[in-house]
Amino acid sequence: MLDLLIKNAVIVDGTGAPGRKGDVGVRNGKIVLPASGGQAKEVIDAEGLHLAPGFIDIHSHGDIVLGEEYGRLCKVSQGVTTEVGGQCGSSMFPINPDRMAETQVVLSVCRAEFPAEMKNWTSFKKYKEYVETLPLSANIKLLTGHSMLRLAVMGVENRKPTADELEQMKALLRESMEQGSLGMSSGLIYTPSCYADTEELIELSKVVAEYGGIYATHMRNESCDVVKSVEEAIRIGREAGVPVLISHHKACGRPNWGLPKQTLRLIEEANAAGMTVTADQYPYTASMTHLKMCIPPKYFALGAEKLTELLRDPAQRAAIKAEILDPATPFENQYINCGGFENIFISSLPETPEYAGMFVTEAAEKMGKEVFEAYFDLMVANKTVGNGIYYSMCDEDLCDIITAPNSVVGSDGICRGFTETTHPRAWGTFPHAVCFYHKQKGVLSLEAIIHKMTQLPAQRAMLDGKGVIQDGFDADLVLFDYEKLQDKATYTQSNELSEGIETVLVGGQIVYHDKKLTPATPGKLILHHKS
């Protein structure tokens, strides 16, 4: 007897094949096909609804708020049943307890308050033991953050590691891989990952290669040097012998629109040559990260406290302002990419929340100050902590990237609570991808966009038994009303639940129904092992 029978659904199986009407059974957490005519303990009549594999968020920061109710709801409410966390160089392990303050500053973009147990997570093994105590609605697979390796061994120092320090980082990474990490991620605009050269990343990625893992990268530059950055990422993968996942692929800044035509060609050529190179993408024209990212990252090596003091000095402010305004200053210049502070939106500020929900220019007007002075004052008042949304991309590039054969959907979503404003991608990426690319733009069929949210990311993240409605696969499923499907999250009302997601199952158990989490928490930490 089946545990559950879903009848009369339009089945979009994840492979890209045309949808078909039929039944799907579930027994012991696995899909049972064929299911027609089978007896079941529970039956769902899905007449008028579509059934797809659970969506896979290949680019998640959900690991940093793992187990929290808001973190669980923001994912399963949009149909996500499996996440790949630890992206952009940031993970919750390995932790050096002596550098806790610096570590939490790096992670603050993703979390407001940190658990006391964090000091114990000196290895993946110890973090894994903690995760096993948490209620999980969805599954998660974890990367090891390069920033965490550097922080644990070197702090935030802007220099090459010594031979001994590199060996220490390798040892920490090797422990992570042995314990089941998927690989290593880098965040090459963030402290301290940005201080690594290509050779350091190759050497560390060679450890990942020993265990059949992947290298995921928030590249060095996603604007004027995006082509060079893709070339570097591919070089790292080629010389280390690892698959590459290029994070939230984009081209920021009007002068750089159209460059994805070149980067996508590089990715296709690498795959044709025998590599596996994938790009993930969120379907929005604005990005989100630390509000301090308008400042050249060389200053971040000072640490939050010293940088805050530096920004109190009028002479230092003038010097930094001049660097920001100079296109020749060598960093990912968010101010120039966005065309100024009028296109930079304040998402959150812990000490001055009254300015959240405004563009920086609006905050300056409210403060009665020149815009750079207002920006620096906000950074000082908040000790450089806060998040911003950066409007710098175009629809054509989004469509070019997602329609490329090696591109998949990933949210890059950051959710720090039920009430704090965030990027709408945290709550709406997957329904938005269907609505934007399929319903609105018409550049992909329903089956094609779902393939890029299910089977293809499952293959690239080596998630066995997931991503396809197939006999014996995990019963991670999403039942949705195609006609009603619509993301509701916006830049000002970011934490809105999507319409049309009817029921979500993880391991055969219903985790979301009627716009609510259920008490079921069948999600698991998925450990990676070399096949």
Amino acid at 526: I
Domain ranges of the chain: 4-53+472-486+495-519, 56-285+394-459, 290-391
474 strand-pairing partners: 30
| φ and ψ of 328, to 5 deg | -80, -10
Please, where are the H alpha helices in 46-197?
Answer: 69-76, 100-107, 124-131, 146-154, 163-179
* Four-CA torsion 355, 356, 358, 360, nearest 10 degrees: 70
Distances (CA, A) of 51 to 467, 481, 490, 507: 12, 9, 26, 15
Residue 107 main-chain phi, psi, to 5 deg: -85, -5
Question: What DSSP character marks residue 486?
Answer: B
Strand order in the sheet with 387-391: 286-290, 387-391, 344-348
CB-CB contact of 346 with 364 (8 Å) = no
Query: pTM for the full model?
Result: 0.93
CATH architecture observed for domain 56-285+394-459: Alpha-Beta Barrel (3.20)
Give the side-chain half-sphere CA count within 13 A for 2: 25
Q: What is the pLDDT along the chain (531 residues), one digit of tens a residue?
A: 999 999 999 999 999 999 999 999 999 999 999 987 779 999 999 999 999 999 999 999 999 999 999 999 999 999 999 999 999 999 999 999 999 999 999 998 899 899 999 999 999 999 999 999 999 999 999 999 999 999 999 999 999 999 999 999 999 999 999 999 999 999 999 999 999 999 999 999 999 999 999 999 999 999 999 999 999 999 999 999 999 999 999 999 989 999 999 999 999 999 999 999 999 999 999 998 899 999 998 999 898 899 999 999 999 999 999 999 999 998 889 999 999 999 999 998 999 999 999 999 999 999 999 999 999 999 999 999 999 999 999 999 999 999 999 999 999 999 999 998 899 999 999 999 999 999 999 999 999 999 999 999 999 999 999 999 999 999 999 999 999 999 999 998 999 999 999 999 999 999 999 999 999 999 999 999 876
Six-digit token string for 105 = 């500053």
**Could you give phi then psi for residue 135, rounded to 5 degrees?**
-80, 120
Nearest-angstrom CA–CA distance, 277 and 281: 14
* Tokens linked to 359: 């563009």
Amino acid at 17: A
In angstroms, rounded to a whole number, what is the distance separating the alpha carbons of residues 53 and 83? 14
What pLDDT shows up at residue 531? Answer: 65
Write the pLDDT tens digit of every residue in 40-82: 999 999 999 999 999 999 999 999 999 999 999 999 999 999 9
pLDDT at 493: 92
pLDDT in tens, 71-129: 999 999 999 999 999 999 999 999 999 999 999 999 988 998 999 999 999 999 999 99
DSSP letter at 329?
S
Q: What is the CATH number of domain 4-53+472-486+495-519?
A: 2.30.40.10
